[in-house]
Structure 1
């Protein structure tokens, strides 16, 4: 077995409506998100303090995501391994009519206990099918923080870098990073 294989392939589930995000699901999402932030992940939501954070610190951002879920507008894709949340990602349709054929991918996260087992790649390989076949999208986009190798990861799962905004992200004083724009035709 290589470092990128899981002993058990992840199972996928979708949350498409706010009422489907049970208390247990929200708890698992919040615990995953806090663990990712605390491990240095690039998914700190607006209004959230800098690490270390508790799962409760991401609750407002998580609540906002859940409230916007709708089958044609936004979905959470969850990956579980042996019944445990291993990772998740958000897929949203662009609201403007000129961009309604496009979707945006946000918050790709693999719980730190499942890192380097292919969970993130599995989520990103499953996502285009959902976007195309279930939501009628034709193109996806995402942004990534430079300096973490994320553009290489996304490139390996089929995405193309289409631009950069130099110095757009200030991680710390004196540590400005490019924001990388990536695209995937479906």
Structure 2
């Protein structure tokens, strides 16, 4: 069995921490994930395939929203290159400021199965609890690709399901599964 080196994890809390090189890697990663059938899409994207032109403005918006209190990006690198990333956010409204959301969890398709997403999610949980003071996290995942099992193994629980809410392609409707984790 091959042993893979653990990914190096880094947290970004301000837009200026995202270098031009990292920005390009984030765009490349997201494009590769979506076009390989990954479940990480954005409302601003067309249905796959997507291009850099589709992805870049969404990445730029996420970068602009980085703020130590409201939104952080975690990146995983292997051999100095981006391997995966995610975003942890909190809402400003005091009614829901005790909880946050994890969004855009992704790893490069060629690096899947190496524990990168698990490492990112475990670090996201710690950051949310210890640094952001959050008490709960939520995530919405696409049914039919095994994501709910991945998150269950990490302690998340399904709290709701919207049958057929996501139309991946004509005739291919998937459930949107809402999951939560108490920190």
Equivalent residues of 2:70, 2:89 under 8 A apart: yes
What corresponds to 1:59 in structure 2? 56
Q: CA RMSD in A?
A: 1.2
* Structure 2: runs of 5+ lacking an equivalent: none
Deviation of 1:95 after TM superposition, in Å, equals 2.2
Equivalent residues of 1:10, 1:79 under 8 A apart: yes
Deviation of 1:135 after TM superposition, in Å, equals 0.6
* Structure 1: runs of 5+ lacking an equivalent: none
User: CA-to-partner distance for each residue in 1:69-118, whole Å, 9 max, x for gaps?
Assistant: 10010000001111111100010012221110101000000011211111
Provide the rounded CA distance (Å) in 1 between the counterparts of 2:54 and 2:67: 24
Runs of 4+ in 1 over 6 A off after TM superposition: none
Alignment TM-score, normalising by the size of structure 1: 0.94
**1:100 and 2:97 equivalent?**
yes
SS in structure 2 of the partner of residue 66 of structure 1:
helix
101, 112, 117: which is aligned to 1:115? 112
**1:50 and 2:18 equivalent?**
no
SS in structure 2 of the partner of residue 164 of structure 1:
strand
SS in structure 2 of the partner of residue 97 of structure 1:
coil
Provide the rounded CA distance (Å) in 1 between the counterparts of 2:160 and 2:46: 29
What corresponds to 2:129 in structure 1? 132
Provide the rounded CA distance (Å) in 1 between the counterparts of 2:144 and 2:44: 23
Alignment TM-score, normalising by the size of structure 2: 0.95
Deviation of 1:12 after TM superposition, in Å, equals 0.5
Deviation of 1:174 after TM superposition, in Å, equals 2.0
Provide the rounded CA distance (Å) in 2 between the counterparts of 1:52 and 1:167: 21
**1:29 and 2:26 equivalent?**
yes
Equivalent residues of 2:73, 2:85 under 8 A apart: yes
Equivalent residues of 1:144, 1:150 under 8 A apart: yes
